[in-house]
Structure 1
Amino acid sequence: MLGRRRFAAGLVALSSLAGTRAAALAAPTGPFALDGRMEQGGWALGRVPPGTVRLSLEAQPIAFAADGCFPIAFDRDAAPVARLEAVLRDGGSVREDLAIAVRHWKISRLDSLPKYPVPSAEFAARRPAELAQIVAARARETGADGWRQAFRWPAIGRISTLFGSQRIYAGEPGAYHSGIDLALPTGAPVRAPADGVVILAAEAPFTLEGHLLMLDHGMGLSSAFLHLSRIDVRLGDRIAQGQPIAAVGATGRATGPHLHWGLMWRGARIDPLLVAGAMPRMR
């Protein structure tokens, strides 16, 4: 009976947390009271069982907050089953095998084009340092708490390219689209989708991303905003949800002005559409 009361209390606390989210999701279920999208590119919040001292997903340790809440996410190419396991203070453990729904992605076949043009000498010289900055940014721990919030769209506009779409060049797969593109004019404002801390604000345009801005939302979750015309915040700034942070542009490798918004949790790329919900209607 005591265990049931503790679990019920956990559900109440998680329901309060989930109530801040953008979309109404199914009621939390299972030993981890998970609330979210159990599918490739999906994202969920949960709460550890009472007495948990360690938590892991697919044998990889993940953090949980002092109140027991935690986020998890599933990469675009996640396997159909993922094991979530908690080790308890008394030496026992709680496991749950999560069924991850497989999605069908938009695939374009371009049989007459090569996969990539030969990179320029400038690209080859600059790219390693750019990638090192991105990796270092994602490794920063800021204590941000935005992961608890209901995420909002950083801008309102037409979705021009979906997350997960991919091109096949003469039979050779290219990299899949790791975020979502919004067709917007140069200078359109970009706002923070949730509270966060600036972990990268490119001082000069990157070769691919152009003016790149990254926010840490805490617990391993980060946002990246690409091709910006202007960045209005600085490294280390604490940002509030809805705060203007940048302007749309066409810098880097872009054929026209648009905003690319990417979300990543501990290396897993997430579909922003599953986190922020349906795009609001333009006024």
Structure 2
Amino acid sequence: MIRFLLLALLVLAARPAGAVSLEMNGAFTQGGIIMGRTDPGATLTLDGKPVRVGADGVFVLGFGREAEPKAELSVRGADGSAQHRTLEIAKRDYNIQRIDGLPQKYVEPPAEVLARIKRENEQIKEVRKIDTERAYFADGFIWPAKGRISGVYGSQRILNGEPKWPHFGVDVAAPVGTPVVAPAGGIVRLAEKDLYYTGGTVILDHGHGLSSAFLHMQDVNVKVGQELKRGDSMGTIGATGRATGPHLDWRINWFDVRVDAAVLVPPME
């Protein structure tokens, strides 16, 4: 597998006379996250869909696991000047694992919990629609916990011949009770101690639709509406929910687009 999770490309657009400015920095790959800046008051679209631009011109973009190889980005300044860019999105290879002979209870959840799962999924879906104006993400990210990387973005299991949902997080394996901190500033939008799949779960809103989810936590020590700074304590690693051992599953979304948290941080020490 090509190692590009930490790929960081800097694109500083040459600014033609009279054109609106456009700067971008990030991983131009499937699962990638791009942070950028344009002129205050500019409008931005990605593949024809509007993207929030902060009062200071800051914006963020995300590309999913199966993103197309090209994306069309357009920006128009308040004075009518414009730029258009075709973004090249690199394809990734993912780790696919086949496991046969599992008891069916490990492949599908029991029928009696399906209503609970649907209710919890709807709760999470609503949280991920939030579009907060403040760009907490612009100050950068750190690892939310320290430990061995035991799972990566995009990997997938085929259980008894049935492809399961891909893994969209990065897993940090460490003992129960290992501290979990905010990787960047934000507002707590969800804090639950016992979701069916993910157990102790926190979702932290970093602004502009970018949010982190922290799954399988033992202790959840934050409350909905609480504002956190980078490095603030949120709780501890656990093995709650459908976990096979103690670890933190850290995931990032850009609205409903599932992106790779690992592109935002340096290699684990």
Give me the TM-score of the superposition, normalised by structure 2.
Answer: 0.88
Shift, 1:46, TM fit: 1.5
* 1:248 partner letter: I
Alignment of 1:137-216 (within 5 A): 137-202=127-192, 204-216=193-205
Structure 2 residue matching 1:109: 3-state secondary structure: strand
Quote the Cα distance in structure 2 between the aligned partners of 1:101 and 1:118.
33
Residue of structure 1 in register with 2:11 after alignment: 28
Q: Please identify, of 23-32 and 75-84, the stretch whose mean Cα deviation from structure 2 is larger.
A: 23-32
Residues 141 and 90 (structure 1 numbering): CA distance in 2 closer, same or farther, change over 3 Å?
closer
Shift, 1:115, TM fit: 10
Greater share of residues in strand: 2
Quote the Cα distance in structure 2 between the aligned partners of 1:24 and 1:74.
14
Residue of structure 2 in register with 1:228 after alignment: 217
Confirm or deny that 1:260 pairs with 2:249: yes
Query: Which residue of 199, 216, 226 corresponds with 1:237?
Result: 226
Residue of structure 1 in register with 2:98 after alignment: 109
Shift, 1:66, TM fit: 1.1
Residues 50 and 128 (structure 1 numbering): CA distance in 2 closer, same or farther, change over 3 Å?
closer
Quote the Cα distance in structure 1 between the aligned partners of 2:81 and 2:162.
47
Residue of structure 2 in register with 1:272 after alignment: 261
* 2:32 partner letter: G
Per-residue Cα deviation, 1:228-255 (whole angstroms, up to 9, x for no partner): 1110110100001001111111110001
Residues 101 and 256 (structure 1 numbering): CA distance in 2 closer, same or farther, change over 3 Å?
same
Quote the Cα distance in structure 2 between the aligned partners of 1:95 and 1:241.
34
Percent of aligned pairs with the same residue?
41
Q: Please identify, of 222-231 and 27-36, the stretch whose mean Cα deviation from structure 2 is larger.
A: 27-36
Q: How many residues align?
A: 256
- Aligned-residue CA RMSD (Å): 2.2
Shift, 1:121, TM fit: 3.1
Per-residue Cα deviation, 1:149-182 (whole angstroms, up to 9, x for no partner): 2200001110001111111235442111010111
8 Å contact from structure 1 (residues 144, 197) kept in 2: no
Residue of structure 1 in register with 2:16 after alignment: none
Quote the Cα distance in structure 1 between the aligned partners of 2:10 and 2:107.
49
Residues 109 and 66 (structure 1 numbering): CA distance in 2 closer, same or farther, change over 3 Å?
same
Structure 2 residue matching 1:126: 3-state secondary structure: helix
Quote the Cα distance in structure 1 between the aligned partners of 2:179 and 2:40.
44
Structure 2 residue matching 1:130: 3-state secondary structure: helix
Structure 2 alignment gaps of length 5 or more: 1-5, 14-20
Give me the TM-score of the superposition, normalised by structure 1.
Answer: 0.84
Quote the Cα distance in structure 2 between the aligned partners of 1:111 and 1:229.
31
Alignment of 1:35-50 (within 5 A): 35-48=25-38
Alignment of 1:76-95 (within 5 A): 76-91=65-80, 93-95=82-84
Residue of structure 2 in register with 1:219 after alignment: 208
